[in-house]
Amino acid sequence: MWTGLCTSAQDPTTQFQIFGHVTSAVEQENNERFSDFSLGEHDFFVQSKITPRISFLSETVVAPLNVAGHGMTDFKVSIERARLKFQHREWFSVIIGKMHSPVNYWNDVYHHGRLFFPTIDRPRSFGSVVPIHTLGLRLQGQNIGALNFGYDLVVGNGMSSNDVSDGSLQKSFTAAVHIKPEERMRIGISAYRDQIAANSVGAHSGHSSTFHYMMGSPNWYPVDLDFELYCFSLYRKSSKWETLLETSWNRSGLSDSNDPELVGGLDSLGTSNNYTFFLFAGKTIGKKKRDQIYGLVDLTDFEERDLHIKSNQLMKFGVGWAREFSPLVNIRAQVERYTGNEGFEIPKDDKWELKVRVAYCLY
């Protein structure tokens, strides 16, 4: 095991890993039942120390074309991360390329490695407000001082850009800070700002379009929107307990760049305030400490006045069990109840789901 990391004492060093998962689900939704086995994302991870101070990292993912619902018919290939890092000192690194936006703990730590996920699915905020990637420039400092303070400042292509480039002058900005008072504890806050051109959904908006207004859908307006996202994350792991809290506050409204005559009927909407809340808590059980039982709560609340994300008040509750066979293979079984409130553009969920997932890493 881990022979992939062995070197013959020669620089530079490169290591390759593959992360993957297989999932099986049984659902009951509105008196209809479904079941399936599905191949999930397969993630080819490369990390290379090119020189003592310059390193490269990439994740190339082969993923189902449509990750929502039962419409998966094929796979697509996507470069999810490809970044070059120059490290000057602990307190200052420069990173350039495509990276996961460091807005919250989940997106900055788990990326596409299902092996590391504490639950089977990402929080729902990932399909709505979290700008998963940024293609741009990042300044980073970490493990500074007694509290292991860290910062990330990012400027890059915004949420309406495509996966390759961005045709607009407008860029997104991220500022995130965190502290690690204990080794397996991290508290972080972040602010993200972008202008979404023509209310479009680009490559970095998320991995599901269920929540977004898209061209051609009712109530879609091709207007520029100011988008702000503020996140708070708390992660802690002790010998028995593991906890992750992810919360976000999103504000979006008409941008000043719009033609006043064209948005005259919309400016009374003002700015929408949307919230997401995700809490995971797990307890390690068993003598060998390889099993964990856990619970999760995932809530979203998006106002009707929002022009970018369809209004909803959705809730998900779940309990699960996980077992680690080795650091490189684990299995999770999770029972989830999807529900919510009526009266919003996205109808209330009424679904039970049992999911089992095996996640692995290969060297």
Partner 1 sequence: MGAEGPRCLLSLLIAMRQILLFLLLAGGPFLWGQEGIPIGKGLDAKPLTSKQLKEVFLGNRSIWNNGNPVTVVLTSSHSEGFAKTAEWALNADAFDYQKHWLSLVFQGRTNAPVFLSTEQAVIDYVQNHDGAIGLLFEAKPPEELVVSLQ
Stretch that binds partner 1, among 72-80, 142-150, 190-198, 224-232 (CB under 8 A): 142-150
Gap between the Cα atoms of 63 and 20, Å rounded: 10
Stretch that binds partner 1, among 27-35, 41-49, 162-170, 224-232 (CB under 8 A): 41-49
Q: Assess 55 for contact with partner 1 (CB under 8 A).
A: yes
Q: Assess 90 for contact with partner 1 (CB under 8 A).
A: yes
CB nearer to partner 1: give 63 or 115.
115
CB nearer to partner 1: give 83 or 355.
83
CB nearer to partner 1: give 290 or 351.
290
Q: Assess 13 for contact with partner 1 (CB under 8 A).
A: yes
Gap between the Cα atoms of 27 and 200, Å rounded: 32
Q: Which H helix or E strand runs over 280? A: strand 272-285
Count of Cβ atoms closer than 10 Å to residue 289 Cβ: 11
Q: Assess 148 for contact with partner 1 (CB under 8 A).
A: yes
Q: Assess 60 for contact with partner 1 (CB under 8 A).
A: no
Count of Cβ atoms closer than 10 Å to residue 146 Cβ: 7
CB nearer to partner 1: give 8 or 73.
8
Q: Smallest Cα–Cα separation from 356: which of 35, 31, 5?
A: 35
Q: Assess 190 for contact with partner 1 (CB under 8 A).
A: no
* DSSP classification of residue 119: S
Alpha helices, H only, 142-192: none
Measured at the CA of 347, the angle between CA 341 and CA 348, to 5 degrees, comes to 40
Interface residue with partner 1, options 36, 53, 262, 286 (CB under 8 A): 53
DSSP string, 10-63: -SSEEEEEEEEEEEEEEEEETTEEEEEEEEEEEEEEEEEE-SSSEEEEEEEEEE
Considering the complex, what minimum distance in angstroms separates the CB of residue 5 from partner 1? 5
How many binding residues for partner 1 (CB under 8 A)? Answer: 44
Q: Assess 143 for contact with partner 1 (CB under 8 A).
A: yes
Considering the complex, what minimum distance in angstroms separates the CB of residue 143 from partner 1? 4
Amino acid sitting at position 260: P
Q: Assess 15 for contact with partner 1 (CB under 8 A).
A: yes
How large is the greatest C-alpha to C-alpha distance in the chain, in angstroms? 69
Residues β-bridged to residue 154: 138, 174
Residues β-bridged to residue 144: 149
Residues 286-315 that bind partner 1 (CB under 8 A): 289-290
Stretch that binds partner 1, among 50-58, 156-164, 256-264, 335-343 (CB under 8 A): 50-58
Q: Assess 7 for contact with partner 1 (CB under 8 A).
A: yes
Cα separations in angstroms, 221 against 142, 168, 171, 309, 344: 41, 19, 21, 11, 18
Interface ranges with partner 1 (CB under 8 A): 1-3, 5-7, 9, 11, 13, 15, 17, 45, 47, 49, 52-53, 55, 57, 81, 83, 85, 87-90, 99, 108-109, 111, 113, 115-116, 142-143, 148, 183, 239, 289-290, 324, 326-328, 361
